[in-house]
A and B are shown apart, each in its own frame.
Chain A
Amino acid sequence: QSALTQPPSASGSPGQSVTISCTGSSSDVGAYNYVSWYQQYPGKAPKLMIYEVNKRPSGVPDRFSGSKSGNTASLTVSGLRAEDEAVYYCASHAGSNKWVFGGGTKLTVL
């Protein structure tokens, strides 16, 4: 159960787009379409932003989108806004009903 690999930080100016990667293996990200993304503000519980690679829960702005290619999943935030500044985590099913998270990416809106 190795953690998925995310860049520690990402940044962009308001209105720009930023993409955060999440690299796993053929045993997790590459094997299943159960990749999800979470937004976490300091001192708060995480919030689901994307599930099943590219689906958005009700209430999540369509500025947030997800994709996957091979063993790497990506979260794209378009039209960056100040309130998007947070830590983002990816997660994936890893087989045998085990789950693994990425290390998190701190998104800074410049």
Chain B
Amino acid sequence: EVQLVESGGGLVQPGGSLRLSCTVSGFIFSNYWMNWVRQAPGKGLEWVAIIQQHGSSQQYLDSVRGRFTVSRDNARNLLYLQMNSLRAEDTAVYYCVRGESGAFEMWGQGTEVTVSS
């Protein structure tokens, strides 16, 4: 069974940092592009970042570039999102999502990040 399980969310002050993790199982992790997608409270979905199968290529939403870094450990089936200089507008549920055929094919259940003083 394919599973994606996010962790690492929580309450952080503006300007602070947080690292999200996504543990995957049930598929060959290194074969897939992986994404982070977020959803602010009561709002729609917003793509945040993508990383190529072996981690050599990443791309980011303009508003997070330079603050967020996506990485992966294929040996441990782990996806990460390092978030620095956090702002109130980064408050959201963050989903780990497997990419396939140009779509967001398989989603985790999400981890909640709240940026507030």
Q: CB within 8 Å of B: which residues of A?
A: 1, 3, 32-34, 36, 38, 40, 45-48, 51-52, 55, 57, 89, 91, 93, 96-104
Count residues on chain B whose CB falls below 8 Å from chain A CBs. 23
Chain B residues positioned under 8 Å from A48 (CB to CB):
103-106
Which of A36, A98, A100 is in CB contact (< 8 Å) with B103? Answer: A36
B56 part of interface (Cβ distance < 8 Å): no
For A34, give the chain B residue with the smallest CB separation.
B102
- Interface contact A36-B102, CB-CB below 8 Å: yes
Q: Could you write out 9 A-B pairs with CB less than 8 Å apart?
A: A46-B107, A55-B101, A91-B45, A98-B47, A98-B59, A98-B61, A100-B47, A101-B46, A104-B44
Q: Within B86-117, which residues are at the interface with A (CB < 8 Å)?
A: 95, 100-110
CB distance from A50 to the nearest CB of B (A): 8
By beta carbon, the residue of chain A nearest B61 is A1
Contact A38 B50 (CB under 8 A): no
